């Protein structure tokens, strides 16, 4: 039987189509229900209410880029209905006062007011040779 015969091409096409179909099915999520049902699953795991107050998503932002990235993460957590607390650690000089109009201060207040983020100012410690920016 020659490799160029229609029967061989048809067999190869069927096998490749079946493999593609199975690969596509394997990539689909097993449960297509809304995320709200997902949270109720965790609430009933042990037959009692899940204590979300013991957990928090924590972000550490040392500059404006990391701060923006943290806000995007907090937005996603809010949109997905996360019940865990949210904490953002940031350099203490980002928010000097409630009247501060710097971009960092505005982003911090936005995170606090819109996404219920708890703000924790910190003192950033730099160590020589620690991978920081060189001058």
Half-sphere exposure of 82 (CA within 13 A, CB side): 16
In the structure encoding, which two tokens stand for residue 12, read together?
A: 């190869």
Question: What's the pLDDT tens digit per position in 10-69?
Answer: 889 899 999 988 888 888 776 555 555 555 555 555 556 778 888 999 999 999 999 999
Which DSSP symbol is given to 61? -
Claim: this prediction has a pTM higher than 0.75: no
Which residues lie across from 119 on neighbouring strands?
A: 88
Nearest alpha carbon to residue 98 among 86, 87, 88, 106: 106
Q: CA-to-CA distance for 125 and 91, rounded, in angstroms?
A: 10
Query: For residue 95, what pLDDT is reported?
Result: 84
Q: CA-to-CA distance for 34 and 130, rounded, in angstroms?
A: 44
- The domain locations on the chain are 51-122
Question: What's the pLDDT tens digit per position in 72-106?
Answer: 999 999 999 999 999 999 999 998 888 889 999 99
């Amino acid at each position: 039987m020659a490799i160029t015969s229609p029967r061989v091409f048809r067999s190869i096409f069927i096998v490749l189509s079946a493999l593609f179909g199975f690969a596509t099915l394997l990539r689909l999520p097993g449960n297509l229900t809304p995320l709200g049902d997902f949270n109720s699953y965790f609430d009933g795991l042990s037959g009692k209410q899940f204590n979300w107050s013991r957990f928090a998503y924590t972000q550490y932002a040392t500059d404006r880029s990391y701060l923006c990235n943290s806000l995007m993460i907090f937005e996603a957590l809010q949109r997905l209905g996360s019940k865990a607390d949210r904490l953002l650690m940031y350099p203490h000089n980002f928010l000097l006062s409630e009247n501060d109009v710097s971009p960092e201060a505005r982003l911090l207040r936005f995170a606090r007011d819109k996404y219920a983020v708890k703000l924790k100012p910190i003192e950033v410690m730099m160590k020589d040779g620690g991978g920081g920016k060189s001058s």
